[in-house]
Chain A
């Protein structure tokens, strides 16, 4: 219970439902949170492909054909953009989740971004090598 009793009549401030549209920082935060939804959809699509792979050649071929449709390509491009944004914002806040370290928080962020670039490049190389 509060020791501090309100002695005055006050006006109760209410947070508007569109609070995240009123400030660019909060808007970017909400986009960051929403981007995870699209990433879930993308992961489910990959899992679906993996499942089809276990169901024989016809099913796998069907999934590959579905992925070649313009809508699927558009979805993949959108997912790529969103994952890039998510990695960008994720490593930006990473230093805040770590213990007090004797290194600059900027270094942690830059190391994270560098890791994204290196891992993505390696994955691309491997996939390219396998596909050839």
Chain B
């Protein structure tokens, strides 16, 4: 693609909320110059540097790996560093904090609910058998690694939570990213697997709140495919109910 190097002006409408002065959020529109190589995040940085220093938003890496800059861009959960202003021009850019979360200030949301859920899935390897350091490393074949690798690429950006209407309706739902990470550990050959996390999967707030909307996988910037992870565990949950999972668990993990 040929980059247009001329500078044009785009309108950026931001949702603003200052907990000290505002009872509820309001909208504010800024005019920012942009070139073809500028992301929505860079547009916001221009506003903060030149027009309104009070505009608040999270960001860090600018290259879609830290997961900090997620926000609603024209109603769709996106990483603002990965969304280019040229994609939206000549329309107006509307940015708002990720939906379904409490707003701390402007584009900054309160992530505590997710952090609780992340902790609840025990996001670490629970070994099948305890090894002493002298016994060497836990070994894994490339095939065994392929079973969980893409689920491990989650960057906790929370776009999937903003995309999930079920999380909006029932905030106690464990949700896409946490359940995808749950599957990441269950699918790891070094982990005990199902028996370590089955209570949460089977529970009211586990996989059964998911109605296969599939929007989480659609918006995921890392192709983690949370919808696939969750729905595989619906099958596991049914098999567990009929006592089949126990038969499939290796002896050492019981």
User: Which one of B102, B212, B215 contacts A13 once the chains associate, using CB atoms below 8 Å?
Assistant: B102
CB–CB A11/B19 < 8 A? yes
Chain B residue with Cβ nearest A92: B214
**Minimum Cβ distance to chain A for residue B224 (Å):** 12
What 0/1 readout, one digit per residue, does chain B (207-240) give for beta carbons within 8 Å of chain A? 0000111110110000001011001101100000
CB–CB A4/B212 < 8 A? no
What 0/1 readout, one digit per residue, does chain A (34-52) give for beta carbons within 8 Å of chain B? 0000000000000000000
Q: Return chain A residues, CB-CB under 8 Å to B194.
A: none
User: Which one of B104, B211, B217 contacts A8 once the chains associate, using CB atoms below 8 Å?
Assistant: B104
Q: Return chain B residues, CB-CB under 8 Å to A20.
A: 165
Q: Return chain B residues, CB-CB under 8 Å to A26.
A: 165, 213, 215
CB–CB A25/B116 < 8 A? no
Residues of A within 8 A of B (CB): 2-6, 8-13, 15, 19-20, 22-23, 25-26, 29, 33, 93, 95-100
What 0/1 readout, one digit per residue, does chain B (163-175) give for beta carbons within 8 Å of chain A? 0010011000000
Chain B residue with Cβ nearest A1: B116
CB–CB A10/B115 < 8 A? no
**How long is the Cα–Cα vector from A95 to B213 in the complex, in angstroms?**
13
CB–CB B110/A6 < 8 A? yes
CB–CB B232/A100 < 8 A? yes
**How long is the Cα–Cα vector from A93 to B22 in the complex, in angstroms?**
42
**How long is the Cα–Cα vector from A29 to B19 in the complex, in angstroms?**
35
Q: Return chain B residues, CB-CB under 8 Å to A29.
A: 165, 213-215
Chain A residue with Cβ nearest B114: A4
Q: Return chain A residues, CB-CB under 8 Å to B246.
A: none
CB–CB A8/B19 < 8 A? yes
CB–CB A99/B25 < 8 A? no
Q: Return chain A residues, CB-CB under 8 Å to B141.
A: none
**Minimum Cβ distance to chain A for residue B147 (Å):** 7
Give the bracket for the number of chain B residues in contact with chain A. 35 or more
User: Which one of A6, A33, A95 contacts B228 once the chains associate, using CB atoms below 8 Å?
Assistant: A95
Q: Return chain B residues, CB-CB under 8 Å to A10.
A: 19, 102-104, 110
Q: Counting CB contacts under 8 A, is B99 at the interface? A: yes
Q: Counting CB contacts under 8 A, is B24 at the interface? A: yes
Q: Counting CB contacts under 8 A, is B100 at the interface? A: yes
Most buried by A among B25, B101, B211, B214: B214
CB–CB B25/A11 < 8 A? yes
Chain A residue with Cβ nearest B213: A29
Q: Counting CB contacts under 8 A, is B2 at the interface? A: no
A-B contacts, 6 of them at CB < 8 A, read A2-B113, A4-B115, A13-B101, A96-B227, A97-B231, A100-B228
Q: Return chain B residues, CB-CB under 8 Å to A23.
A: 75-76, 215
Contact of A97 with B212 at beta-carbon distance under 8 Å, contacts A11-B19, A13-B99, A15-B99 already known: yes
- Ranked 7 nearest A-B pairs via Cβ: A10-B102, A15-B168, A4-B112, A11-B103, A9-B19, A97-B231, A96-B227
CB–CB A13/B19 < 8 A? no
CB–CB A96/B228 < 8 A? yes
**Minimum Cβ distance to chain A for residue B248 (Å):** 12
What 0/1 readout, one digit per residue, does chain B (70-104) give for beta carbons within 8 Å of chain A? 00000110000000000000000000010111111
**Minimum Cβ distance to chain B for residue A105 (Å):** 8
Chain B residue with Cβ nearest A20: B165
CB–CB A13/B213 < 8 A? no
CB–CB A96/B213 < 8 A? no
**How long is the Cα–Cα vector from A115 to B67 in the complex, in angstroms?**
41
